[in-house]
Chains A and B, each alone.
Chain A
Amino acid sequence: MVIKTEPFVVNIGPAHPSTHGVFRMRATLDGEVVLDIEPVFGYLHRGIEKLAEERTYTQIIPLTDRLDYLASMSNNLAYVLTVEKLAGIAVPERAEYLRVIMAELQRIASHLIGVGAFLNDCGAFMTPILYMIREREKILDLFEMVCGQRLTYNYMRIGGVSHDIPEEFLPALKKFVDRMPGFIDEYDQLLQENEILLARSKGVGILSREQAINISASGPVLRASGVKWDIRKVDPYSIYDRFGFEIPTGSAGDCYDRYRVRVEEMRQSVRILKQAVEKLPAGGVRSEVSHLVRPPAGEAYGHIEAPKGELGFYLVSDNSIAPYRFHVRAPSLLNLTALREMVVGWKVADVLAIFGSIDICMGEVDR
């Protein structure tokens, strides 16, 4: 008996319960198997690049907060590093250490949500993300002590940071750093050998090494495919060359490896934090830079290792108080190029698990 089937197009999104934002996929399905997928985004395009051409360099810092809103400190850091590279401004020592502390705390906070949302998509409905939000609240309390905000910090300034840490920050940070490895072990105990997680993510959505390099992937997606490429080691910015830490890499390039790479990166971040807290020097936190910075005419590209990948800013200046061109190299947009190759041939339920494991943030993709 011959059954005729016909592929049909199903629309997934833009409003859907997985917490990755407004992203739409038009999937062509043959039964449950995905034949083709077309990502459609732009539902959060706010025109940040155009708005930045009308604002001074310091006024752009709150705009950069809203790019990857789960890792605002990293966005701020990448932007001020680029402006400092363009204008040749030096940063005091204490400010460098504070920046590293904030960036690593932010990496832990972002990976907690990344891993939690991935597990949410795999089917563990709210339990892991509730545990991880419990830890993230501790980090957000630390940030609130420093700059008064929980999500979009606006803390870094051109030439340093905006203000110094209060007295109760360091003891609280030490307490957090001592207890965090215990919490990561708790998650591992629940999840590492979990049958359901292994069945849903091992061998699913494989991205090979050559494919990952060709699509300009970066961050945990690239490292899980076996490429040892971390901007903090290959092109150190700020004072990362003074800290000892390792770069976790995966081998298979499947969803499980991406999950493991993120968990191991959290452990390495705790290691960096311990070293930074010990060596924090005294001094000023901001060098004397006017509010209306006028970098000399030219261009610069500065990049950092943000939690989601390589975040870069390309700035063109014409010696006025606002940039001539402001462009963001968003890691989530480039990691998303891999979605189609990873998903074709798998089932609909795997589409969301694979999409969750890439860990994107729509504020960056659409800008």
Chain B
Amino acid sequence: MTVALSGGEIAARLEERFPGSVVESGQDSLLVKSESLRAVAGFLKTAPGLEFDYLTAITGVDYYDYFEVVYQLTSIRHNHSLVVKARCYGRENPALPSVVGLWKGADFQEREIYDLMGIRFEGHPNLKRVVLWDGFTGHPLRKDYL
């Protein structure tokens, strides 16, 4: 069975390595600050005992005050999984660092979140619309679209 690691266990390790990066940690998930996302992700990918080498999914959710991007990480070697979240505030120009450098599977998923929700991913080599066409105005999956 894939063990779903609880955020609390990992939070302690992260706090000693990157102090101040964890905003809150619960039973199911771990919320990190958007500035430290790339460092935390790199650590999670390579740290012995964790080694989350497989990025299962990235999802963007629009809660009216903030956007939340949820990363489902899995480790093939140890067969455990973790949910990491990051928030970005402000509806005009939300931005997050991109994790394409670590997991190439994030490529199309981040482009799609940019396309449908408008969240920019800094560091993505080719951030342009992917499922909608170039002249489309608006970001349909936002709660205030139509």
Binds B, one of A142-150, A197-205, A247-255, A327-335: A327-335
Residue A174, interface by CB 8 Å: no
Interface residues of B in 63-83 (CB under 8 A from A): 70, 72, 76, 79, 83
- In the complex, are the beta carbons of A214 and B79 less than 8 A apart? no
- In the complex, are the beta carbons of B103 and A214 less than 8 A apart? yes
Partner of B132, one of A42, A314, A336: A42
Which A residues are CB-close (under 8 A) to B141?
49-50
Query: Once bound together, how far apart are the Cα atoms of A217 and B74, in whole Å?
Result: 12
Residue B108, interface by CB 8 Å: yes
Which A residue's beta carbon lies closest to that of B102?
A214
Known: A41-B130, A337-B105, A337-B107. A213 touches B53 (CB 8 A): yes
Residue B56, interface by CB 8 Å: yes
- In the complex, are the beta carbons of B76 and A45 less than 8 A apart? no
- In the complex, are the beta carbons of A235 and B131 less than 8 A apart? no
Known: A49-B141, A336-B108. A329 touches B53 (CB 8 A): no
Which B residues are CB-close (under 8 A) to A303?
56
- In the complex, are the beta carbons of A327 and B57 less than 8 A apart? yes
Query: Once bound together, how far apart are the Cα atoms of A49 and B108, in whole Å?
Result: 16
- A360: shortest Cβ distance to chain B, in Å? 12
How many A residues are at the interface, by size bracket? 20 to 34
Which B residue's beta carbon lies closest to that of A310?
B56
- In the complex, are the beta carbons of A337 and B104 less than 8 A apart? yes
Number of interface residues of B (CB under 8 A): 31
- A37: shortest Cβ distance to chain B, in Å? 13
Residue A17, interface by CB 8 Å: no
Which B residues are CB-close (under 8 A) to A314?
57, 59, 70, 72
Residue B2, interface by CB 8 Å: yes
Known: A49-B141, A314-B59, A337-B108. A213 touches B132 (CB 8 A): no
- In the complex, are the beta carbons of B56 and A45 less than 8 A apart? no
- In the complex, are the beta carbons of B59 and A325 less than 8 A apart? yes
- A48: shortest Cβ distance to chain B, in Å? 11
Query: Once bound together, how far apart are the Cα atoms of A41 and B55, in whole Å?
Result: 22
Residue B5, interface by CB 8 Å: no
Q: List 27 A-B contacts (CB under 8 A).
A: A41-B130, A41-B131, A42-B133, A49-B141, A213-B76, A214-B104, A216-B56, A216-B105, A217-B105, A234-B2, A235-B2, A236-B1, A299-B28, A299-B70, A301-B72, A303-B56, A310-B56, A314-B57, A314-B59, A316-B61, A325-B59, A327-B59, A329-B56, A329-B57, A333-B108, A334-B109, A336-B108
List the interface of chain A (C-beta within 8 A of B): 41-42, 45, 47, 49-50, 213-217, 227, 229, 234-236, 299, 301, 303, 310, 312, 314, 316, 324-325, 327, 329, 333-334, 336-337, 366-367
List the interface of chain B (C-beta within 8 A of A): 1-2, 28, 53-57, 59, 61-62, 70, 72, 76, 79, 83, 103-109, 116, 129-133, 140-141
